[in-house]
Structures are given as C-alpha cells and as structure tokens.
Chain A
Amino acid sequence: GAGVSQTPSNKVTEKGKYVELRCDPISGHTALYWYRQSLGQGPEFLIYFQGTGAADDSGLPNDRFFAVRPEGSVSTLKIQRTERGDSAVYLCASSPSGGGGGELFFGEGSRLTVL
C-alpha cells in the first residue's frame, strides 16, 4: 500500500551504540512527526517537520537525539550513545499539511531495544 513506512520494524542494540530509524511518509504529505511511545503511555512528541525544516523540535529529550528530512520526504531519526532508557516504540506520522488539523497517518513503528 501507500501508507507510512518505517524501517527497521525491530532494532536491538547495545548501550552506547548509534542507531538510525527511517520513516518514508505518504507521498505528497508535507508534515512529518516523530513520537516515542513506552508501554502503557501515550505517544510522546519528539519533533515535527514542515517540508525540510524542523518546525518544532521541543520534544527531543537531549542532544543525543537528532532528526533530518533533507528533501522534504524521507526522514531519519538518529540516536547517539544509546541508553537503556531509550528503549521504546518510535512512531512516525505524516499529514497532508501541518497546522491544518488534518489527520495523522502513522507507520507501524520501529521497536528499539537497548541492552
């Protein structure tokens, strides 16, 4: 289908390693969001892109987290020096336009486990 695609679906890594998570949004969607969800919690906002620029990155927990969207389509969430507390499901969502109150379409998520 033409939904939001996230890779990898599962990633197990060791503490201290570097991880990249990829999100391929629905074609034509200008807004892209990253969330992190831990068990029993709602999705926690990380960062939101409008086109190529980060419109709001206030949810990134610290400078180990970084995200890019160089061509306004695919986005990569990068986590340096991973810690056990980074273990969660990382969800990506896209929307036809940001700020318009449109529906968010989510990918199936990338489950990150840091040992």
Chain B
Amino acid sequence: RKEVEQDPGPFNVPEGATVAFNCTYSNSASQSFFWYRQDCRKEPKLLMSVYSSGNEDGRFTAQLNRASQYISLLIRDSKLSDSATYLCVVINPLTYKYIFGTGTRLKVLA
C-alpha cells in the first residue's frame, strides 16, 4: 500500500462549483499534513497546513480525519485560476521526510 494515496482525477467542474478532494495515508502515527498546489510545469507551493481541528483560508477548507486516516480539501466558489494539481503531503513521523501523493488534477471550466 502506498504511504499517501490520492485520486488523480481529473476533476472538471464549472466556475462557482464546490469541489472536494480526499487523500488517505497509511501511517497512523503521522502528525503533520499539508496541501500543496502545483501549476503546470511549475514547482509545488504550499497551499495550506492541515490541523487536527481543521482550518479555513478564504474559499479553502482543510480537514483531518484521524480515525479513517484521511485528509480533505474543500474549495468553494471555484475560480478559473484554481485549475492546478493539488498535492497531499504527509510527514513520516520517524524520519521527517515529506511524502507526496500523486496529486489530483482540477480543471475549472468557464
């Protein structure tokens, strides 16, 4: 089983839609989680950290479900500029390496 798994998509949604992605992780001892965004042929950039209590940043909400070992990202009122690949990241609790998922592609359509 992969350490971090994501549905690769693509998710094609109309502008203004709400879309959600999930990401599962295999190591129950993991403590730190993130969502990164990667535009086509660019480097990944931090979108937001995922806290135990969940966190919100504008139209973006990230949540952690420890019991089921997954994190989620919700995007409300999608914009064309949200089109990108969203990468789930989990830190290995023993070695502190950052493990990336394969990414979920989102395309917001006009």
Cα A108 to Cα B44 with chains together (Å) = 9
Interface check B99, CB cutoff 8 A:
yes
Q: How many A-B residue pairs have CB under 8 A?
A: 55
CB-based nearest B residue for A45: B97
Known contacts A42-B87, A45-B100: A107-B95 contact under CB 8 Å: no
User: Nearest B residue to A100 by beta-carbon distance?
Assistant: B96
List residues of A (96-115) whose CB comes within 8 Å of B's CBs: 98-99, 101, 103-104, 106-109
> Are A108 and B43 within 8 A (Cβ)?
yes
B43 touches A48 (CB 8 A): no
A80 at the interface (CB under 8 A from B): no
Q: Contact: A42 with B101, CB < 8 Å?
A: yes
Flag if A106 contacts B97 (CB, 8 Å).
no
Task: Tell me the interface secondary structure of chain B in the complex.
Answer: loop
Known contacts A45-B97, A45-B98, A55-B96; 18 further A-B pairs (Cβ under 8 A): A33-B97, A42-B6, A42-B100, A43-B44, A48-B95, A48-B96, A48-B97, A55-B95, A56-B92, A59-B97, A91-B43, A91-B44, A101-B32, A101-B49, A104-B46, A106-B44, A107-B43, A108-B42
The residues of B with any CB-CB pair to A shorter than 8 Å are 6, 8, 31-32, 36, 42-46, 49, 87, 91-92, 95-103
Give me 13 A-to-B residue pairs in the complex whose CB atoms sit less than 8 angstroms apart, sorted by A's number.
Answer: A40-B8, A41-B103, A43-B100, A48-B96, A58-B97, A91-B43, A93-B98, A99-B96, A101-B31, A101-B91, A104-B36, A104-B44, A108-B43
